[in-house]
A and B are shown apart, each in its own frame.
Chain A
């Protein structure tokens, strides 16, 4: 059985990592291999790690209001590394009106406070399955 590898990262200067760590543990308990990169990183760093770790999906957490900048930045950094197949999911304190903008920019799903853990796990699993399917036969 292929194990799903995901990256949980916090872009920007936001240091509130409880949410990110909670998601990392949650996914570990659901059988995922979770690469946690810690707080305060650039979109470039996160995308670069995602490529060398060959993850299927990235979960970004932002509680500081910088999501409109950083989430799309990660998407485009992946693109510039020929890694658009890596899915990007986001979560944090994100106003409703920003969600369509983020989805439009290439983020797969956005989770806001109160999102049920089971939904989050299901979304990651779906993203990983889609990634695996897309990559079948590549290389």
Chain B
């Protein structure tokens, strides 16, 4: 490990905000120091940490709920990390990352580490980058670490797989998209949350979800994130589940699966970069692209480093 990486790692452990911010950028941009930093992280003793995934439709109140969850853990004097993920524009490649607006009351609290992250259209989803960010935050003493993401699309479902416990937040008035989610996120979420529970339609939504929740033996918690109502109850559910998962060593199995997923994601990222470079010099033929892809891979995958 280089001296620079050693210094960076020491600064992360000393909870230096600048170092944590820089380290996450290094992993995000896969710059020169990335591998050294990750070697250092994996060699150092990691404190225990829980990863919470929070997902749901745009406008369901995820960021507001996250804000209240942060406040809860801060009251218990726990240092907490948040990765807030927003989509990258497929057209410009830019992004507006606005989840922080709801969490600004914690802006100057040095024990609340918030990082906004854009999806950047990664092939393998976001797990590679978010996974490393989780470990940077954990090394700086954060526990729990929350990953918040919009619940649409495959990469967001992948993010849930990074979490030890994932929450699906829904709210009344968002209409039929509940139907669409039924086949996806509802199945992978560990806890169901009905936020904005004071709005009309909350009871109907509760009934809709109840059937599924019974089938999967999931708890449904009602919250009003804007006032904080129900958040204590939600945290209790999280703690119960954490205890349960720990005792049954389900959490170990989950982490093993998510590590494998991260490896696949990093691999895809690396392979893609290489293939995109090599396709420039590939001599096209008249055969079908699928058949050409097989030749292409044969030519280039074996010398891949």
Kindly state the separation between the CA atoms of A28 and B97 in the bound complex, as whole angstroms. Answer: 10
In the complex, what residues of A have CB within 8 A of residue B31's CB? 2
In the complex, what residues of A have CB within 8 A of residue B93's CB? 3, 31
Kindly state the separation between the CA atoms of A38 and B63 in the bound complex, as whole angstroms. Answer: 14
In the complex, B98 has a CB within 8 A of chain A = yes
The answer to whether B100 touches A35 (Cβ under 8 A) is yes
The answer to whether A30 touches B100 (Cβ under 8 A) is no
In the complex, what residues of A have CB within 8 A of residue B25's CB? 5, 54
Taking the closest CB of chain A, its distance from the CB of B63, in whole angstroms, is: 11
The answer to whether B101 touches A25 (Cβ under 8 A) is no
Taking the closest CB of chain B, its distance from the CB of A15, in whole angstroms, is: 13
The answer to whether B116 touches A35 (Cβ under 8 A) is yes
User: Which positions 1-37 of chain B face chain A at CB distance < 8 Å?
Assistant: 4, 7-8, 17-26, 28-29, 31, 33
In the complex, B279 has a CB within 8 A of chain A = no
The answer to whether A28 touches B95 (Cβ under 8 A) is yes
The answer to whether B97 touches A34 (Cβ under 8 A) is yes
The answer to whether A32 touches B94 (Cβ under 8 A) is yes
Of residues A32, A46, A138, A139, which shows the largest number of chain B Cβ atoms within 10 Å of its Cβ? A139
Knowing A35-B116, A81-B17 touch, does A28 contact B94 (C-beta < 8 A)?
yes
Specify the chain A residue showing the minimal Cβ separation from B37: A139
In the complex, what residues of B have CB within 8 A of residue A45's CB? 104, 107-108
Interface size range on A against B: 20 to 34
In the complex, A76 has a CB within 8 A of chain B = no
Interface size range on B against A: 35 or more
Kindly state the separation between the CA atoms of A2 and B30 in the bound complex, as whole angstroms. Answer: 9
The answer to whether B17 touches A48 (Cβ under 8 A) is yes
Residue in contact with A33 in the complex, picked from B4, B22, B94, B108, CB distance below 8 Å: B94
In the complex, B52 has a CB within 8 A of chain A = no
In the complex, A134 has a CB within 8 A of chain B = no
In the complex, B120 has a CB within 8 A of chain A = yes
Residue in contact with B96 in the complex, picked from A2, A30, A34, A83, CB distance below 8 Å: A34
In the complex, what residues of B have CB within 8 A of residue A27's CB? 94
The answer to whether A36 touches B114 (Cβ under 8 A) is no
In the complex, what residues of A have CB within 8 A of residue B134's CB? none
In the complex, A37 has a CB within 8 A of chain B = yes
In the complex, what residues of A have CB within 8 A of residue B89's CB? 28-29
In the complex, B249 has a CB within 8 A of chain A = no
Specify the chain A residue showing the minimal Cβ separation from B120: A3
Q: List 25 A-B contacts (CB under 8 A).
A: A3-B118, A27-B94, A29-B94, A30-B92, A30-B94, A31-B92, A34-B95, A34-B96, A35-B98, A36-B97, A36-B100, A38-B104, A44-B107, A45-B107, A48-B17, A48-B107, A49-B100, A51-B18, A51-B21, A52-B114, A52-B115, A53-B21, A53-B116, A139-B22, A139-B33
19 extra interface residue pairs, beta carbon distance < 8 Å, beyond A52-B17, A54-B21, A139-B22:
A2-B29, A3-B93, A3-B120, A24-B96, A29-B92, A33-B97, A33-B118, A34-B95, A36-B96, A37-B101, A44-B108, A46-B107, A48-B107, A51-B21, A52-B113, A53-B116, A81-B17, A82-B18, A139-B23
Interface residues of A (CB under 8 A from B): 2-3, 5, 24-25, 27-38, 41-42, 44-46, 48-49, 51-54, 81-83, 138-139
